[in-house]
């Protein structure tokens, strides 16, 4: 063969590199189609409209290879461990084509009984080559329902141990009857579980098509490529951070009394180890957090700051180790109540940022609103219903940009549109708007929060459950001279203030008003570009008073404060 037609070893390696990257991207597209299928099939608006879900592809060893862009860290990062946890109960050697596993065990899945994890093995030539896994929220599975008032997980709803959802072509109707019998919305509960089954089937079909297109009998070589590249990228990022030990703490409103979160972070060139010892003990209310969920959000905070360009998979997560002794509010053990575990879990990225700010001063965003404000409304009148929505606060300002307004950081969940919520339940959303001055002032302004007012369209009493609203006592902190964002407020139209978590009655004819926390600001407000201040004033994002007294818009030195 002449030199003109030969291919060198380096050229072969380059071709393999390109081909593997193409396959990697195709794998992610399989996950995205899987997630889209779930959103199309889901019955619950919180999944269909807000994207409260996750979807991923795992190799034959149960290691996560890729995830859908659509989804939340609390679902995706817990699911990374769920597949093997479920296979430890029902071994892979016992599975056959068509089998599907399911559980909503909070300590094996996504942290509370409302999230179901469904795992589907993918067979080629009678061998398991991969697993498709997905998670989503089921609105009601019995017990107290969506409430943080439970004293144990037994009161929060029915727990399904790891079992078959399907054997070959036969659905486990006994399991589905248990769930629907315990649910206040049985039709929706059944539909949401089956939507998880359907989305995995869609992903499995696309994965098999992909493997046949590329004549792949397994995913071993692609797994090695993905994990090797992800490990390299992660370690390269860690080498840019000064090695050392950093500590941070965060005080939360808590339930009956404040709760303290503590972190000790050890950074090396190979790993980041975080010890959550010193955090408050678990309490007898449902805002406790299983360690799997706490670790999911702590790892997300670290990766969002240090390795945002490295795709999320087993290798990129393996570099981060989150530990805590059992029995803390961040490491609650069965049978602790965990219904509203997101209150603690979604505060952990800000706790991680507190440590990273010490390692990388001036490079870390300000604090954000944190935990989603879940809006769970129901009625026991002539028209019983359950409506679940989320109300979003502001994201902290970044070192070179304003924070995003009404953005669910760190969860990534969107809100159910008002129109959809009103169609699904007898509610009227009277207003939904930005709150002027709610974003912390700074060279870069914190993201604005929102005001939402809602009431019954039937002039009936409403019940507000799982009122796990956080940052009512103190707004998210700013950094480097930036001001804190506005604290949240919850009250009724008759003036009654809601200052504690729990279950509350909204009398007929009254409305509920929620004002979420705003994001903290970054940098001295006097250094903000004058044109940005003028724009914020023109758009109503800040008041004339704030423009004058906080930003000194009318002072004589305005020209010198330009960027």
- Predicted local distance difference test score (pLDDT) of residue 58: 97
The answer to whether residue 145 scores a pLDDT higher than 90 is: no
In our burial notation (b when 16+ CB lie closer than 10 A, e otherwise), range 352-371 reads: bbbbbbebbeeebbbbbbbb
Q: Which of the residue ranges 206-215, 268-277, 497-506 would you say has the lowest mean pLDDT?
A: 497-506
Q: Is 489 a member of any domain?
A: yes
Reported in sequence order, the residue ranges of 32-190 that DSSP labels E, i.e. its strands, are 53-59, 64-67, 100-103, 115-124, 127-137, 163-167, 170-171
Mean pLDDT value across the chain: 92
27 and 128 fall within a common domain: yes
Would you give the end-to-end CA distance of the chain in angstroms?
63
66 and 208 fall within a common domain: yes
What is the average per-residue pLDDT within 168-174? 95
Q: Select from 364, 398, 414 the last residue of a domain.
A: 364
185 and 246 fall within a common domain: no
Specify the DSSP element, H or E, that contains 385. strand 385-391
pTM > 0.85: yes
pLDDT band at 418 (very low <50, low <70, confident <90, very high): very high
Q: Is 327 a member of any domain?
A: yes
Question: 419 with 500: CB under 8 angstroms?
Answer: no
267 and 332 fall within a common domain: yes
358 and 378 fall within a common domain: no
Task: Provide Rg for the chain, Cα atoms.
Answer: 24
104 vs 1 pLDDT, higher one: 104
The answer to whether residue 360 scores a pLDDT higher than 90 is: yes
Residue that the structure tokens 């399991």 belong to: 175
Instruction: Report percent pLDDT > 70 for the chain.
Output: 95
What is the average per-residue pLDDT within 259-277? 97
Residue in 199, 207, 204 with CA at minimum distance from that of residue 70: 199
The answer to whether residue 106 scores a pLDDT higher than 60 is: yes
312 and 186 fall within a common domain: no
pLDDT band at 557 (very low <50, low <70, confident <90, very high): very low
Domains: count for the chain = 3
Q: Is 269 a member of any domain?
A: yes
Q: Select from 364, 399, 424 the last residue of a domain.
A: 364
Helix and strand counts by DSSP (H, E) for the chain: 13, 19
476 and 341 fall within a common domain: no
* CA distances to 200, 303, 370 from 135, in Å: 10, 21, 22
- Give the tokens for residue 551: 């930003």
- Predicted local distance difference test score (pLDDT) of residue 7: 44
The answer to whether residue 470 scores a pLDDT higher than 60 is: yes
357 and 376 fall within a common domain: no
What is the average per-residue pLDDT within 105-114? 94
The answer to whether residue 280 scores a pLDDT higher than 60 is: yes
Q: Is 224 a member of any domain?
A: no
475 vs 148 pLDDT, higher one: 475
What is the average per-residue pLDDT within 509-528? 97
Residue that the structure tokens 């993905």 belong to: 226
513 and 375 fall within a common domain: yes
Q: Is 193 a member of any domain?
A: yes
The answer to whether residue 134 scores a pLDDT higher than 80 is: yes
C-alpha 324: how far from chain center: 21
C-alpha to C-alpha distance for 456 and 376, rounded to whole angstroms: 13
Query: What is the dihedral sign for C-alpha 142, 145, 148, 151?
Result: negative
Q: Is 232 a member of any domain?
A: no
Q: Is 478 a member of any domain?
A: yes
The answer to whether residue 10 scores a pLDDT higher than 80 is: no
The answer to whether residue 401 scores a pLDDT higher than 90 is: yes
Residue in 259, 235, 245, 234 with CA at minimum distance from that of residue 312: 234
C-alpha to C-alpha distance for 22 and 28, rounded to whole angstroms: 10
Q: Is 19 a member of any domain?
A: yes
539 and 427 fall within a common domain: yes
Q: Which of the residue ranges 212-216, 270-274, 295-299, 499-503 would you say has the lowest mean pLDDT?
A: 499-503
What is the average per-residue pLDDT within 53-64? 95
The answer to whether residue 497 scores a pLDDT higher than 90 is: yes
- Predicted local distance difference test score (pLDDT) of residue 561: 41
Question: 488 with 524: CB under 8 angstroms?
Answer: no
Q: Select from 218, 250, 274 the last residue of a domain.
A: 218
404 and 459 fall within a common domain: yes
On the 0-12 / 13-18 / 19+ scale of CB atoms within 10 A, 435 is buried
385 and 348 fall within a common domain: no
Per-residue pLDDT tens for 319-339? 999 999 999 999 999 999 999
Structural domain of residue 304, as residue ranges?
Answer: 238-364
Residue that the structure tokens 């329902």 belong to: 145
Q: At 443, phi and psi to the nearest 5?
A: -55, -35
The answer to whether residue 556 scores a pLDDT higher than 60 is: no
């Amino acid at each position: 063969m002449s030199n003109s037609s030969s291919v060198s070893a380096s050229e072969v390696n380059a071709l393999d590199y390109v081909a593997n990257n193409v396959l990697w991207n195709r794998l992610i597209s399989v996950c995205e189609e899987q997630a889209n299928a779930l959103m199309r099939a889901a019955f619950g608006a919180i999944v269909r409209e807000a994207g409260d879900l996750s979807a991923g592809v795992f190799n034959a060893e149960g290691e996560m290879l890729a995830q859908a862009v659509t989804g939340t860290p609390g679902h995706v990062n817990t699911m990374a461990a769920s597949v093997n946890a479920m296979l430890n109960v029902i071994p892979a050697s016992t599975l056959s084509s068509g089998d599907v596993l399911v559980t909503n065990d909070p300590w094996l899945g996504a942290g509370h009984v409302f999230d179901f994890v469904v795992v589907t093995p993918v067979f080629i030539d009678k061998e398991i080559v991969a697993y498709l896994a997905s998670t989503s929220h089921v609105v009601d599975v019995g017990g107290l329902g969506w409430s943080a008032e439970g004293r144990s997980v037994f009161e929060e709803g029915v727990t399904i141990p790891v079992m078959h959802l399907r054997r070959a072509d036969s659905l486990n109707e006994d399991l589905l009857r248990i769930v629907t019998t315990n649910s206040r919305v049985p039709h929706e509960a059944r539909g949401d579980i089956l939507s998880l089954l359907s989305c995995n089937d869609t992903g499995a079909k696309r994965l098999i098509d992909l493997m046949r297109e590329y004549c792949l009998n397994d995913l071993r070589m692609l797994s090695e490529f993905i994990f090797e590249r992800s490990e390299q990228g992660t370690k390269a990022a860690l080498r840019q951070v000064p090695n050392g030990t950093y500590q941070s703490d965060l005080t939360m409103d808590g339930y009956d009394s404040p709760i303290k979160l503590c972190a000790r972070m050890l950074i090396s060139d190979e790993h980041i180890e975080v010890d959550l010892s010193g955090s408050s003990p678990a309490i007898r209310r449902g805002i406790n957090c299983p360690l799997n969920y706490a670790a999911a959000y702590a790892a997300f905070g670290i990766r969002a700051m240090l390795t945002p360009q490295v795709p999320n998979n087993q290798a990129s997560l393996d570099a981060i180790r989150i530990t805590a002794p059992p029995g803390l509010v961040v490491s609650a053990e069965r049978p602790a109540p965990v219904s509203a575990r997101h209150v603690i879990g979604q505060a952990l990225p800000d706790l991680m940022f507190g440590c990273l700010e010490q390692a990388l001063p001036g490079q870390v965003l300000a604090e954000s609103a944190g935990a989603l404000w879940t809006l769970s409304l129901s009625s026991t009148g002539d028209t019983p219903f359950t409506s679940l929505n989320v109300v979003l606060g502001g994201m902290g300002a970044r070192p070179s940009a304003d924070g995003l307004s009404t953005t669910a950081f760190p969860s990534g969940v969107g809100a159910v549109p008002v129109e959809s919520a009103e169609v699904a339940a007898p509610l009227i959303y009277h207003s939904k708007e930005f709150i002027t001055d709610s974003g912390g002032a700074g060279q870069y302004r914190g993201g604005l929060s929102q005001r939402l007012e809602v009431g019954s369209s039937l002039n009936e009493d409403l019940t507000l459950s799982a009122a796990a609203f956080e940052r009512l006592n103190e707004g998210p902190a700013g950094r480097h001279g930036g001001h804190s964002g506005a604290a949240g407020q919850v009250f009724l139209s008759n003036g009654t203030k809601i200052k504690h978590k729990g279950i509350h009655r909204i009398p007929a004819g009254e409305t509920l008003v929620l004002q979420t926390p705003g994001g903290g600001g970054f940098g001295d407000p006097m250094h903000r570009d004058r044109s940005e201040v003028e724009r914020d004033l023109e758009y109503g994002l800040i008041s004339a008073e704030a423009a004058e007294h906080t930003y000194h818009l009318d002072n004589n030195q305005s020209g010198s404060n330009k960027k």
